[in-house]
Amino acid sequence: MKVAVDVPSYVKCRQSCRASMSAVRCWRFKRNVKDVSEEELFAPGHRGCAGCGCTVAMRLALKASGKNTIATHATGCMEVVSSPYPETAWRIPWIHVAFENSAAVASGVEAALKALGKKDKVNVIAFGGDGGTVDIGFQALSGAMERGHDLTYICYDNEAYMNTGVQRSGSTPFGAATTTSPVGAVSLGNDRPKKDLPAIVAAHGVGYVATASVAFPLDYYEKVKRAIAHKGPSYIHVHSSCPPGWGIPSEKSIEILRLAVDTGMWVLYEIVDGKGRITYKPATKHPVEEYLKVQKRFRHLDDETIAKIQESIDKRWSELFED
Amino acid sequence: MATDVIHGSKAVAEAVKLCDVDVIAAYPITPQTRISESLAKFAATGAIRAEYIKVESEHSAMSACIGASATGARTFTATSSQGLAYMFELLFVASGMRLPIVMANANRALSAPLNIWNDQQDSVSARDCGWIQIYVETNQEALDSVIQAYRISENHEILIPSMVCLDGYVLTHTMEPVDIPEQDLIEKYLPPFKPALSLDPDSPITLGAFANPSTYMEFRYEQQKAIERSFKAIEAAGKEYGKLTGREYGLLEEYNLDDAEIVLITMGSLAGTVKETLASLNDRRIGLLRVRAFRPFPKDDVRRLLKDVDKVAVIEKDISVGLGEGALFSEIKSSLYGLDSQPSMAGFIAGLGGRDVTPEDIAGVVKKVEKGFEGTGWVGLK
Ligand SMILES: Cc1ncc(C[n+]2csc(CCOP(=O)(O)OP(=O)(O)O)c2C)c(N)n1
Ligand code: SF4
Ligand SMILES: [Mg+2]
């Protein structure tokens, strides 16, 4: 579970701020909540579950990129909840084609805008879930990133195939129970660690790569702004909660997402032109058990397994946060 | 008008150049590769202004064409066999979204066993994807058909993507004299692309929404109605093209049908071999009906042309395994269903995986049906 990010000590975040998570003011980015656009381009009334973190990821992304945006979307929860014909939650031009090709469709959109002389005026965002990005859409994503299209890919990672009923994806964390990694006499749930996709995208030489969390809205908002401003391909991987898929109460959705960061299960960073930096350092490191025990998908884990998870987090934590 | 002696692949590329395409996305596969290579060369030398996306797969080629077409660009791709099969789910999306994408398919056999040579199993298997399918006989027709395809597909009454199918190697890699029309002539024939709807921040639309059982069927119905309208549009585009170039095209080509008692039916370049054979047999009782438009399938015209004929023999390069006959034979039979006096009917599978179909083979088919053969048969089977 090593993050293959080069984090020079001088860029490590020393603010230990908790402000960004309360959505008031992020020290690192000097971004104030008042700077966030009030325009709602992802309309309310979509079919997302109560407490769905992913819909917040959509909404904030569009606030950051503004109305001069064309978005493409992979099949998945966010596509389904937002576009039941003849209704739509999208107040920007939006296209869904299939599960595995959001990046390829976005390549076409970008090329068309170029050919028609409109690219300077329009941002292109490709959205995909973790399945549509790290698994079945991986090839199309890799191709689009490698070809250097001027577009931003945003993967909202809810850590399983939620739309089809919580099956395991390559992004499902170690130990999580899903319907295809069930717990049984000879199974502890998902037996593989989470695929480190941001690092793989960074290995393409992509100029702007960032991880984010819906529980840190200003951090995420700023990263989308930066990704869009970056000429060429950019990539954001945003950790997003799914109450039914994770087995958590809707009202705890953001709190638990925040715990992912505070325990070190999820780390917020950005890699700009190959240079990585942590954008948020938790004030105190919470034991991972706090994150695991509040979610049904992890509830079966025994002490030994939890210790194993803690160990891998500790290792990464010391690499990232301790000089 | 300049005449050049060129491969079918080059003829397709020349057509794309004449159509001033905005976005090309293509992936190499034999025997299509030379189309994408020629276009890459055009792009590299500035001969075309298109954005050329060197995609990492055919799946992404069609995905990128869908994205580009939806953004208001005239788009082109080309593929073959495994590539077309790899695009399969997206063929339905392109037609379902009513995007006027044009694609050339270099007809090639499908694996397994791996085979890079010509038959028409690939595009015939994609017949229900909602695309217009035109099968061409010559390199000239390949060029002419790509140009006509844009005119047909982009017609706001139609808005159905088109596949121009040319036989791999037999056409793609064979030199023939081809007239390349002047640019200004084609500009007159093909107006700049005006999308019916496009992804535009000034008037946002949602494309690719999901439709539940209360709305889905109507989308398919509308598609069927639109492709029915394309019968007329294909004929009109072929006629108009004839006025400008002297080469007229339709849904079907009738050859020696006036007094024909036996009619051979086929698609693509095999029609050339049949014409050769018929010319040497020099028998007014034997004619050829070449199916140029396989989708939409001109049932009514087929019925009209064959209703007084004695015998019909279909020769085709595809098979519906499990049914034991080719798709064209099935369509012809269903077109003649319920006639008072049906011709006797025979369907022959020929040329799979690039096996040569010779004039002797064709003469053999004629002999067989003359003797009263009915049902299905194989040509050149060892
Ligand atoms: C080619 C293909 N295979 C499978 C599916 C079925 N399918 C639709 S959405 C989905 C899972 C989506 O998972 P993810 O990308 O993580 O998005 P989420 O639903 O979790 O938001 C699957 C398996 C499909 N639509 N297309
Ligand atoms: S299932 Fe999960 S991801 Fe899908 S809408 Fe509900 S909360 Fe969101
Ligand atoms: Mg998911």
Mean pLDDT of chain A: 91
Residue nearest to atom 8 of ligand 2 (CA): A52
Per-residue pLDDT band at B154 (split at 50, 70, 90): very high
**Residue from B55, B63, B69 nearest B101 by CA:** B69
Per-residue pLDDT band at A2 (split at 50, 70, 90): very low
Residue nearest to atom 4 of ligand 2 (CA): A77
Q: Which of B192, B212, B245 is the last residue of a domain?
A: B245
Give the nearest partner residue to A142 out of B25, B51, B56, using CB atoms: B56
H, E, C per residue of B71-128: CCCCEEEEECHHHHHHCHHHHHHHHHCCCCCEEEEEECCCCCCCCCCCCCHHHHHCHH
Distance between CA B337 and CA A297 in Å, rounded?
A: 60
Q: Are residues B55 and B163 in the same domain?
A: yes
pLDDT of residue A71: 98
CATH number at residue B62: 3.40.50.970
pLDDT of residue A323: 60
Average pLDDT for residues B11-21, to the nearest whole number?
A: 98
Q: Which of B245, B263, B285 is the last residue of a domain?
A: B245
A12 in reach of chain B (CB within 8 A): no
Q: Are residues B261 and B225 in the same domain?
A: no
B16 in reach of chain A (CB within 8 A): no
pLDDT of residue A34: 82
Q: Are residues B81 and B144 in the same domain?
A: yes
Average pLDDT for residues B76-104, to the nearest whole number?
A: 98
Number of folded domains that form chain B: 2
- What is the per-residue pLDDT across A156-177, written as a single tens digit (0 to 9) for each? 999 999 999 999 999 999 999 9
Distance between CA B218 and CA B226 in Å, rounded?
A: 12
Question: Cα of A2 to ligand 3 centre, how many Å?
Answer: 22
Give the nearest partner residue to A107 out of B22, B64, B75, using CB atoms: B64
Average pLDDT for residues A193-216, to the nearest whole number?
A: 97
**Residue from A276, A287, A157, A293 nearest A214 by CA:** A157
Q: Are residues B305 and B262 in the same domain?
A: yes
Burial of B279 (0-12, 13-18, 19+ CB in 10 A): exposed
Q: CB–CB of A143 and B55 under 8 A? A: yes
Q: Is A99 in the pocket of ligand 1 (CB under 6 A)?
A: yes
Mutate to test the pocket of ligand 2, among A47, A54, A248 (most ligand atoms within 8 A of CB): A54
Mean pLDDT of chain B: 98
- Give the chain B residue nearest A79 (alpha carbons): B209
Provide the residue count of chain A.
323
DSSP, residue by residue, A263-309: TTSS--EEEETTEEEES---SSPPPHHHHHTT-GGGTT--HHHHHHH
Q: Which of B181, B214, B245 is the last residue of a domain?
A: B245
**Residue from A107, A101, A245, A280 nearest A171 by CA:** A245
CB B378 within 8 A of CB B350: yes
- Give the chain B residue nearest A148 (alpha carbons): B53
CATH number at residue B283: 3.40.50.920
Per-residue pLDDT band at A118 (split at 50, 70, 90): very high
Q: Are residues B159 and B140 in the same domain?
A: yes
Q: Is A169 in the pocket of ligand 1 (CB under 6 A)?
A: yes
Question: Cα of A89 to ligand 2 centre, how many Å?
Answer: 15
Q: Are residues B276 and B228 in the same domain?
A: no
Average pLDDT for residues B66-86, to the nearest whole number?
A: 98
Shortest distance, CA A238 to any CA of chain B (angstroms):
24
Could you say which residues from 122 to 141 on chain A have a Cβ atom under 8 Å away from some Cβ of chain B? 122, 139-140
Distance between CA A232 and CA A228 in Å, rounded?
A: 9
pLDDT of residue A12: 37
Mutate to test the pocket of ligand 1, among A164, A195, A238 (most ligand atoms within 8 A of CB): A164
Per-residue pLDDT band at B163 (split at 50, 70, 90): very high
Average pLDDT for residues A19-37, to the nearest whole number?
A: 61
Is residue A78 left, alpha or beta, with left meaning phi > 0 and alpha meaning psi from -120 to 50?
Answer: alpha
pLDDT reading at B230 higher than 90? yes
Per-residue pLDDT band at A319 (split at 50, 70, 90): confident
Per-residue pLDDT band at A6 (split at 50, 70, 90): very low
Whether the full predicted model's pTM is greater than 0.90, yes or no, is yes
Q: Are residues B164 and B261 in the same domain?
A: no
Q: Are residues B93 and B164 in the same domain?
A: yes
For residue B197, give the DSSP letter.
S
Q: Are residues B49 and B112 in the same domain?
A: yes
Could you tell me what percent of chain A has a pLDDT over 90? 87
Q: Are residues B218 and B331 in the same domain?
A: no
Q: Is A263 in the pocket of ligand 1 (CB under 6 A)?
A: no
CATH fold label, A9-321 = Rossmann fold (3.40.50)
Domain that holds residue B273: 252-378
Instruction: For residue A50, give the ligand 2 atom closest to its CA.
Output: 7
Here the tokens at position B165 are 């199918």
Q: What letter represents residue B110's amino acid?
A: L
- What is the per-residue pLDDT across A41-74, written as a single tens digit (0 to 9) for each? 999 999 999 999 999 999 999 999 999 999 999 9
| Predicted-assembly ipTM surpassing the 0.90 threshold | yes
